[in-house]
Amino acid sequence: MRNSDLVIAVNTVWVVVAAVLVMFMQAGFAFLEAGLTRMKNAAHIAGKNVLIFGVCSLVYWAVGFGIAFGDGNSIVGTSGFFPSTNAFLEIGKAPFSFFGGIPGATGYLFEVVFAGVSLAIVWGAMAERAKLWVYFAFGGVFTLIYSVSSHWIWHSGGWLFAKGMQDFAGSTVVHYQGALAALAGALLLGPRIGKFGKDGRANPIPGHNMPYAVLGTIILWFGWFGFNPGSTLGVVTGDRIGYFGYVALTTNLAAAAGAIGGIVSAWVVIKKPDVSMMLNGVLAALVAITAASGFVAPWAAIVIGLVSGFIAVTGVLLVERIGIDDPIGAVAVHGMSGVWGTLATGLFAVPSLASNLATGRGGLVYTGSFHQLGVQALGLVAVGGFTFTASFATLWALKRLWGIRVEEHVETSGLDVSEHGMWGYPEFYIPVPGGYGTEAHGHLLGHGQAHHAREATPLVPQTVPEPSG
């Protein structure tokens, strides 16, 4: 085996492993989102991560991968649609000439899991009130929207790539885009029943399982070591061997700083070291460092993470204050922090690292020039205008034609039973042999009730009271 063949083989193994780590992030989103919403929607919220990844994988294979990474022009890929065996086995040849160090199939696997993450973000702000069929319809459309912007920034022929925009693993492409579509959906759906009172003040609707949210965050942190380091697409980057290890370092430092920034900011702003805000701080930091991870020094990664923790806390509160119901905090965590991470790269990019990656220039702090910061801002404006407009228009049309929000009685009953005919926690709502409300759990009932528990009506879940719905 030639040395070049060995490098390709190792690259392929590394990128496939990284892709699997990123796919595992869907489990993180399932736990996080189910934990931060109500138990009557838990199965629906968690299960949609499987559904949307299925939709995304098929649409991205058929059309999206060609739009994003097929050979074409500076705006869109025009080849590689419905690719088959030869296209996926070739290395550095049409229609996927972009992938010069791995086979086209490996490139598809790595890129489709990124598209799946962006789509998972969309539903965070639309949780607990969107119709199931919208996942199919808008999921397919958004996959195509996502693919266009991917081509602009990540394909070597894209117009923003040519200008030197730095987005190492997708603060703009993945997170900012997902948050923009989520914002469009939240605006068109309106708030959940009971979220805002007649005076406009927000009522708390706490999530039902904070340990789930913690577990989801840890899984996402773990998966991010595929997300960012895997974006090297190989074991050699520029003239650096094993550069992905450096990217993993900056990723971890930012996340750690985000945890501290989030809980301290919550302590100062809302006077309580809120656990959910700490989790949001971690995720916001990971979002922000996604653009910068290959470009910045360790000290800058820490700064990016600390600021992200503050953005997560104040951003979530701001979104709620202006009357937008975002149950998961997607707009703040993925949107606002995605903007910060993209701009922070323009501030802190180390010139030698930018040169090694052959993308853009050093940041303002090192060069005194606003050039890279301007390119980053241009990318945000272009992607923001395109993605929000296309997403809002699509969802608006779906709303006018068929309606995208469930009926009031469906939302009140919960999407688990109304949309799927099942409960995520059945024994809390229906008689289950050996479940709550039976002799097996008689010690949970008042004295003298255990004898009659078997025929008792279902117990009301022991959770914090909800305003309504």
Q: Are 320 and 202 in contact (CB under 8 A)?
A: yes
Distances (CA, A) of 209 to 84, 152, 218, 366, 415: 44, 40, 15, 45, 17
Q: Are 52 and 61 in contact (CB under 8 A)?
A: no
Mean of pLDDT values over 350-375: 97
- State residue 468's pLDDT score: 37
Tokens at 232, concatenated: 């090297």
- State residue 441's pLDDT score: 57
Give the model confidence (pLDDT) of 132-162 as tens digits: 999 999 999 999 999 999 999 999 999 999 9
Distances (CA, A) of 206 to 16, 39, 110, 123, 194: 38, 10, 35, 18, 12
- State residue 432's pLDDT score: 77
Distances (CA, A) of 270 to 37, 262, 406: 21, 11, 33
pLDDT band of 455, cuts 50, 70, 90: very low
Residue 135: phi and psi, rounded to 5, are -60, -40
- State residue 34's pLDDT score: 96
Does the pTM exceed 0.85?
yes
Tokens at 311, concatenated: 């953005």
Maximum Cα interatomic distance, the chain, rounded to a whole number of Å: 80
Give the model confidence (pLDDT) of 299-310 as tens digits: 999 999 999 999
- State residue 442's pLDDT score: 55
Mean pLDDT of the chain: 93
Residue 240, helix vs strand vs coil: strand
| Percentage of the residues of the chain whose pLDDT score is greater than 70 | 93
**Helix then strand then coil, % of the chain, to nearest 5:** 65, 0, 30
CA atoms of 114 and 136, how far apart (whole Å)? 18
Mean of pLDDT values over 46-57: 96
Count CA atoms closer than 13 A to 87's CA, side-chain side. 19
